[in-house]
Structure 1
Amino acid sequence: MRPADSSTRATRVLDWLLRKLRLTPAAREKALDYLVLTRMDRPIGALLLLWPTWWALWLAAGDFPPVKLLVVFTLGVFAMRAAGCAINDFADRKLDPQVARTAGRPIASGRVTPREALIVFASLLVLAFVLVLFTNRLTILLSFAGAALAAIYPFTKRYTYMPQVVLGAAFGWSIPMAFAAVSGTVPPLGWLLFIANILWSVIYDTEYAMVDREDDIKAGAKSTAILFGDADLPILGILMGTFALAMLFAGQRASLGWPYWVALIVSLGLFAHQLWSIRTRDRATCLQAFRNNNWLGMVLWIGIVLALGVR
């Protein structure tokens, strides 16, 4: 039994890699359960965290960032995202069995125990902290706030209709950390990018929450998709426009050239496509719109890289 939203391609790759390790069938199955727990079967979540991190690294450096920091932050993105998924499933262990899309997750289906999930979470936090030790004092101090946000987020959906805002802060905390690691400080541009990322996270995670809206209402969970109700599409449109405005200000402050502005226009086209595709609020198209944000993040990163390159 696998989660309904697992990537078939990613799962096949994981199966192939585990076979190459020549593990026993039982060990291979258990290892796959841990990989699914940490969403390695759905890499898009890590990519949505990676793109803003790379935006920040390139803008902070004003060019190609130091290789050591690029490696540290790229590995850190995957470690922290995996840790966040483990603690999320622990927090949702009673909710997930009630939602069709998540009923096949490892804890919900009984393949991984809550205690095992906590051990995985703690181990990944230790790994992420070891990576941060290769940076500077300010970045290390900021990392504690990032770990706290990652641990708090899964529980917010019980107490607030805006857990997506906390998710955005948790996903975007790598932005001030990246600026701190490169330049030893977090300038206004870093905080502007951080705010923009919160807006973007609310956008794509609301689209994601629209997939489960009816199940979440029955289960008593909270989300912006439920909060926005019938006004979800116009509110998403406003958030998209506000995000684009924040990224426009970021481009001006960083003195970026024409490739970035082309990328920003393309991102507006991707947003328009998302809004049009979810106009019927069909579950499948809402999930596709969520996944489309991977291309948006990549387009903006390419725009930043090219704009810095033609200075």
Structure 2
Amino acid sequence: MSPPCNRPLAPPDTTDLNDIPARDWVATRLPRTWQPYARLMRLDRPIGTWLTLLPALAALLLSAGRVPEVRLVLVFTLGALLMRSAGCSINDILDRRFDAQVNRTRQRPLANGSLSLHQALACLGIQLLLAAALLLTLQPLTVLLALCCLPLTLIYPLLKRFTHWPQAFLGAVFNWGVLMASVETTGTLQPSALALWLGCLFWQLGYDTLYAYSDREDDLRMGLRSTATLFAGHGKAWIASFYATTLVCWCIAGVLAGASPGFFILLLPIALSLAYQLGQFSPDDPGPCNQLFRSNCHIGVLLLAGASVAIV
């Protein structure tokens, strides 16, 4: 892979809404030529990887009804990292001109010129090849299911040009590992996994709508669409409905999986965490949206904990 172009990095914006802080581990520990690649892959922002991985690990537990093999945990962990990073790379490649006009994203590598398009495409190719190598360790039906997700990953960044619901599409794709975990551990797509996946879809639809309010004014200015531009001042009610549907779906998943009472008990702190997000959110104040979005990692941990006690 060739080194990045020599254009100097623009000084980072330090506002709360910027995607890249003034200093982080990428800036302080990685060689300068590696930094744009790490930021393209969002290695500096692991929240997306956690939000992809934690539901998949919960599905491994609920579907199998036992502690999964270490091999599967490693494969799904690396797969979540690679596919989330590939998804971010695809998004940045397709949105590079829009990103340059948005305060939160204008310091991304393609937007600020620290990576060229060819370099980003080469990096994406390597990520996809590594992800494909992981598939060789899985069952054929799981591989087929994974391949069905690839075109969906490629399509997602374009949807904001045509529909107000890209967040719903992202929720389906982002949590594909839940379906793969069911097929890999049981040889079929279990109803409990479908319910868990639907719950994760609505969960992401809620928290990604909340996140989209950070960019709402910029999206309106550029003519882009999202659930945030659609809901406007009614966002809190919509997000509340998405989160309520999430809890119902996860309850159904627990019942279908024959989960122990511990699973349902841990849904209570999840519900309280979601309610806290709603209490802190205001459609007219984008400032807290980024931090509220990040707090969903705690919910993923609680979901995994619930799945862990469900098999006891």
* TM surpasses 0.5: yes
Which amino acid is 1:163 matched to? P
> Which of 137, 154, 164 in structure 1 is aligned with 2:140?
137
> 1:280/1:177 Cα in 2 relative to 1: closer, same or farther (>3 Å)?
closer
Structure 1 residue 129, shift from structure 2 partner: 1.1
What is the CA-CA distance between 1:56 and the residue it aligns to? 0.9
Shift of 1:16: 5.3
**Distance in 2 between residues matched to 1:225 and 1:173, nearest whole Å:** 24
Aligned to 2:106: 103
Residue aligning to 2:19: 5
Aligned pairs (5 A) from 1:44-59:
44-59=47-62
Tell me the amino acid that sits aligned with residue 82 of structure 2. Answer: A
Query: What is the root-mean-square deviation in Å for CA atoms of aligned residues?
Result: 1.5
- Shifted more, 47-56 versus 275-284: the winner is 275-284
The Cα of 1:279 is off from its aligned counterpart by 2.9
Deviation at 1:197, TM superposition (A): 1.4
Match for 2:154 among 147, 151, 158? 151
Mapped contact 2:110–2:117 kept (Cα < 8 A): yes
Judging by fraction of residues, say which structure has more helix: 1
Which letter maps to 1:288? Q
Alpha-carbon distance in 1 for matches of 2:283, 2:147: 42
1:7 shift after superposition:
5.8
Q: How does 1:300-311 map to 2 (within 5 A)?
A: 300-309=303-312
Q: In 2, distance between residues paired with 1:7 and 1:98?
A: 18
Question: Do the aligned partners of 1:129 and 1:143 also contact (CA within 8 Å) in 2?
Answer: no
Change (3 A) 1:280 1:248: same
- Conserved 8 A contact 2:233-2:283: no
What is the CA deviation profile of residues 130-185 of structure 1, one whole-angstrom value per residue up to 9, with x for unaligned ones? 10110110011111112112111111111111001111111111111111111111
In structure 2, C-alpha distance between the alignment counterparts of 1:8 and 1:298, rounded to whole Å: 28
Q: Within 5 Å, give how 1:247-262 maps onto structure 2.
A: 247-262=250-265
CA shift for structure 1 position 51? 1.1
In the alignment, structure 2 segments of 5+ residues that lack a partner are 1-10
Q: CA distance change for structure 1 residues 275 and 161 in 2, over 3 Å: closer, same or farther?
A: same
Distance 1:209 1:244 in 2: 22
Aligned residue among 248, 265, 282 for 1:279:
282
RCO higher in 1 or 2 (8 Å CA, sep ≥ 6)?
Answer: 2
Amino acid aligned to 1:114? L
How far apart in 2 are the matches of 1:306 and 1:50?
18
Give the equivalent residue in structure 1 for 2:214: 211
Aligned mates of 1:159, 1:116 — CA distance in 2: 28
* Residue number among 241, 250, 275 corresponding to 1:238 in the alignment: 241
- Code of the residue aligned with 2:240 in structure 1: it is G
Distance 1:59 1:17 in 2: 39
The one of 180, 183, 186 equivalent to 1:183 is 186
TM-score in terms of structure 1 length: 0.92
Please report how far the alpha carbon of residue 280 of structure 1 lies from its aligned counterpart in structure 2 after TM superposition: 5.9
Q: CA deviation at 1:107?
A: 0.3
Q: Does 1:127 align with 2:130?
A: yes
User: How many angstroms does 1:262 deviate by?
Assistant: 1.9
2:125 partner amino acid: A
Question: C-alpha separation between the residues in 1 aligned to 2:22 and 2:50?
Answer: 17
Letter in 1 for 2:111: A
Q: Report the secondary structure of 2:33's partner residue.
A: helix
For residue 107 of structure 1, give the secondary structure of its aligned residue in structure 2: helix
Give the secondary structure class of the aligned counterpart of 1:123: helix
Tell me by how many angstroms 1:196 deviates: 1.3
Q: Percent identity of the aligned residues?
A: 38
How far is 1:300 from its partner?
A: 1.2
Q: Which residue of 2 aligns with 1:23?
A: none
* Count of residues in correspondence between the two structures: 298
Q: Which residue of 56, 60, 67 corresponds with 2:63? A: 60
Q: 1:209, 1:223 within 8 Å by CA — same for their partners in 2?
A: yes
Whether the 8 Å contact between 1:59 and 1:304 is mirrored in structure 2 is yes
Match of 2:3 in 1: none
- SS of 1:144's equivalent? helix
Partner of residue 21, structure 1: none
CA drift of 1:2 comes to 4.4
* 2:6 aligned residue: none
The CA distance in 1 between the partners of 2:90 and 2:261, in whole Å, is 42
CA contact (8 A) 2:60 2:181 kept: yes
Q: For residues 16 and 142 of structure 1, what CA distance do their matches in structure 2 show?
A: 40
> Is the Cα contact below 8 Å between 2:192 and 2:254 reproduced in 1?
no
